[in-house]
Each structure stands twice: as structure tokens, then as C-alpha cells.
Structure 1
Amino acid sequence: MDAAPSTEIDFSGNTFVIRPNFKHKFRPVAVREVISTVLSQNLTDKTYNSEEVPDLTRNLAEKIKEAVKDLGYDRYRLMVQVAIGEQKGEGVKMGCRCFWDADTDNYAQDTFMNDSLFCVAAVFGLFYY
């Protein structure tokens, strides 16, 4: 006679993660290097053109997001914000407010400038529970 399959569930290990391991935490220094690399590779020889800026910001945001994903932040939701403006020697201030968990969430930003334009990019990493 065949034995019936066991219906017991093994609860010995955690089935969910509420905090990232130390080595998997969002690292602003590493992300800032990625942002800097992507911006310098794509904007060094660009001149400001208001008609190209919407597509350029979307493309930069996607490239930054893909490069940050390669760092291995599996359980993080990534939000990328890119702003480009014409360089006219005037000052610009930007700010943001977020509601997040200070233990797990973080952000990184970098700025690129040439004679024609400036670009500010920020990546927000929010741990997905």
C-alpha cells in the first residue's frame, strides 16, 4: 500500500524579509559613481536644445536605472529623477521630500555641467517589504 503524501509545511525558515542584509543595503556612494559615469558618457558633448530635453531626460533616467539595477539591489524599488536646464550662469535650487524608512531607504544624486547645460540626477532606493 502506498503512503499518502505528507501535508506538513516546514516553518523552520523565514518566508519573508523585512530588512536587507548589510551587504545588500542601498549604497549612495556606489550609486553616485554610476550616475556620474552615465551623465558624463551621455552629456559631455551635448548642447542644450529644448526640443530634445524631454527625450534626453527619459533616456538618461532609463540608463541610470538599468546601471543601478546591475549593482544587485534586488529588493529595492528604484525611482530616478533627471532634470536638465540651460546653462546661463544663474543659480538653481532643487529639493525633495520623502516619507521612508531611514534604516533601509536612501538616495544618491549627482550633477553634471558643461558650457551649454546642467543636469541633476537623483536615484531613490526604497526597500520593498
Structure 2
Amino acid sequence: MAETEVAITPSELPSAAENSYIIRPNFKDKFKPAIVKDAIQEVVTEHLKGKDYDPEQAPAWCKAITEAVKEKVKSLGMDRYKLAVNVVIGEQRGQGIKVGCRCFWDSDTDNYAQHLYMNESMFCLATAFGVFFY
């Protein structure tokens, strides 16, 4: 039984097999907080406009807003970013609230955007974190 070797040139390889070794995004592909903030604002306003706080519905609203923000940000073309979206909805009674987060990331490539929506009966804080996937 004879074996034959076939040499494949690099130009014949499929593009998925090629290593890119990209460790920084191009400027046009970076996470842009201003654009993401506008997307978050649009989604949150669309979901909560004209609604009053309802403790029974708030968890479902959080989940729906989270998924919608994630899909909207993905559609902006930031393909190499892992996204984490956090939404907090609470009743508005004049109280204060503090929300904090800690992240270990590369300040050159990673970033976040947030939007605070408030009406007379509730507040909603939506935050999207974009972490570049090396």
C-alpha cells in the first residue's frame, strides 16, 4: 500500500484555520460607550415607557431588557467582544441606591456603558460590559 503526501499552500487553507493573532481591536471595532449607551437607552425606553412599577412583572422586564440590550449591542458589529449585561429595576420612593461593580480587565480594549431610566414609580439601571476576546 503506497501513501501519498499532498502539500497544501497557505492560500488554499480555509480562513477559519488561519490564526489572526489579534491582541488589540482596530479603532473602528472598539467598544464605543457612547454608541452603546444610546442603544441601551433606546431599548430601556421602549420596554418601560408608560409602565408603572409592578413587583410581579419586574423580574420578567429585567430579563427581557437584558436580552434585548445584548442583541442590540451585538448588532453594532463588535464581534470580538464578550458582553455582560446587568439590569436593576426598583420602586421609586425617593430613596437612594448605590450600585457597584469590580472588573479585572484591560483598560485599552475593555469598557462599559450604562443608562439610568426613571419615571414617577420606578427606576431602571442598565449596564453593558464589553470585554475584548483575545
Q: How high is the TM-score relative to the length of structure 2?
A: 0.87
1:70 to 72, 75, 82: 75
Aligned to 1:127: 132
Task: State the alpha-carbon separation in 2 of the partners of residues 87 and 8 from structure 1.
Answer: 65
Match of residue 23 from structure 2: 18
Unmatched 5+ residue regions in structure 2?
12-17
**Aligned residue-pair number:** 125
- Alignment partners' CA distance in 1, 2:48 and 2:31: 26
SS in 2 for 1:126: strand
Query: 2:79 is paired with a residue of what secondary structure?
Result: coil
Structure 1: gaps of 5 or more residues: none
1:43 CA drift (Å):
0.6
Provide the secondary structure at the position in 2 that maps to 1:30.
helix
1:99 aligns with 2:79: no
For normalisation by structure 1, the TM-score amounts to 0.90
Alignment of 1:1-129 (within 5 A): 5-7=6-8, 15-129=20-134
CA shift at 1:9, angstroms? Answer: 5.0
Measured in 2, the distance between the counterparts of 1:62 and 1:7 equals 43
Q: Quote how far apart the aligned CAs of 1:89 are.
A: 1.0
Letter aligned with residue 49 of structure 2: T
Partner Cα separation in structure 1 for residue 56 and residue 7 of structure 2? 65
C-alpha RMSD of matched pairs (Å): 1.7
